[in-house]
Amino acid sequence: MDHLAPILILIAAAAVAAALCVLLRPLLLRYALARPNARSSHRVPTPQGGGIAVVGGAFLALILASSLLPLSGSESLVFVAAAAIALAIVGAWDDISPLPAGLRLGLQGLCVAVVIVYAAPDVRLFPEAMPLAVERCLALLAGIWFVNLTNFMDGIDWITVAWVVPLAGALALAGGLGLIDPTTGLLAAALCGGLLGFAPFNKPVARLFLGDVGSLPIGLVTAYLLYRLAGTGALAAALILPLYPVMDATITLLRRLARRERVWEAHRSHFYQQATSNGHSVLSIVTQIALLNLALIGLATASILVPAAPVQLICLAVAVVLTGLLLRRFARRAHVP
């Protein structure tokens, strides 16, 4: 039963998320319609808020599992769930009535801090190199950035599915193989299932968007999963797995800062957005991102199986090169036969 638990949780989360999408879509059509503007990638008004179904499906599946199976470390999941739900509320608030940037960041920071201090108190990445307080401050900044970059990267149909589903699926498998603790693996399976249940409604051309109510908590849960992975000593793997969104969002942010733009305002300068302007279809973009993520999973796996420092550095370097090549491809005009 234990070996089947990740699969059952994934299936349950997908089923609940799909059912919630069907039930919520009429309500979201009335109250949460995203209307296209100059910075939008969609052309017709589309309901947003599908993230409610993803988060609801994932955590309802975990609640069901906890009633049937003894989950060690389930108290950590309680804090992750509480922080993710709080962040979903912040996202819903921002979807309906945009919050000031400072308040939004402060609330995000509070949720990330709860996860670091209460859900992962035992995780240390650099115990010999820096004091605990310094490490946690760096983890807090990294967590806030990851939550925001997940939001920034949710700009075209299926893109969040394309990079989070392979990552979460790989971590669910890692939990089953004992590479990370089983409870963290079950959380990854639940997140993967929730997004798979949402995927049919978000496929190009989307009938439902995640919205901030989904992208923010998904970013938080994904950051927690990677933090847990890094805490096992697999830091290189934790850096490799999310490399596409991290590089796209970080390079874009640095470029906008260099141009003295208001980085908190919406824009269309991410590489995946440039790709749509350069003639790449949405389906082509998300397919290439998904394929890159499969390659990154292979490199991350190699870095775990062969933990020698030179091998980890080589895997990380190859991952950076592959990701850079895809960003370069997106920044250029598509070759139309």
Looking at this protein, which amino acid is placed at residue 272? Answer: Y
Q: Is residue 151 part of a domain?
A: yes
Domain count, the chain: 1
What is the structure's pLDDT at 147? 97
Residue position matching structure tokens 């990370």: 180
Q: What is the C-alpha separation between 56 and 4, in angstroms, rounded? A: 21
CB 20 within 8 A of CB 56: yes
Q: Is residue 188 part of a domain?
A: yes
Q: Is residue 142 part of a domain?
A: yes
Q: What is the C-alpha separation between 264 and 104, in angstroms, rounded? A: 11
Q: Is residue 36 part of a domain?
A: yes
Q: Is residue 184 part of a domain?
A: yes
100 conformational bin, left if phi > 0, alpha if psi -120 to 50, beta if neither: beta
Q: Is residue 83 part of a domain?
A: yes
Q: What is the C-alpha separation between 334 and 337, in angstroms, rounded? A: 10
What is the structure's pLDDT at 41? 62
What is the structure's pLDDT at 23? 96
What is the structure's pLDDT at 44? 80
Q: Mind listing the pLDDT tens digit for each residue in 171-222?
A: 999 998 888 888 999 999 999 999 999 999 999 999 999 999 999 999 999 9
What is the structure's pLDDT at 4? 80
Q: What is the C-alpha separation between 129 and 136, in angstroms, rounded? A: 13
Q: Is residue 131 part of a domain?
A: yes
Whole-angstrom Cα Rg for the chain = 19
3-class state of residue 144 by DSSP:
helix
**Domain region containing 34:** 5-235
Q: Is residue 162 part of a domain?
A: yes
Report DSSP state, residue 116. Answer: I
Is the pTM value of this prediction over 0.85? Answer: yes
Q: What is the C-alpha separation between 249 and 152, in angstroms, rounded? A: 7
Residues in the chain where the model's pLDDT stays below 70: 1-2, 37-43, 70-73, 335-337
Report DSSP state, residue 105. Answer: H
What is the structure's pLDDT at 42? 61
Half-sphere exposure of 336 (CA within 13 A, CB side): 5
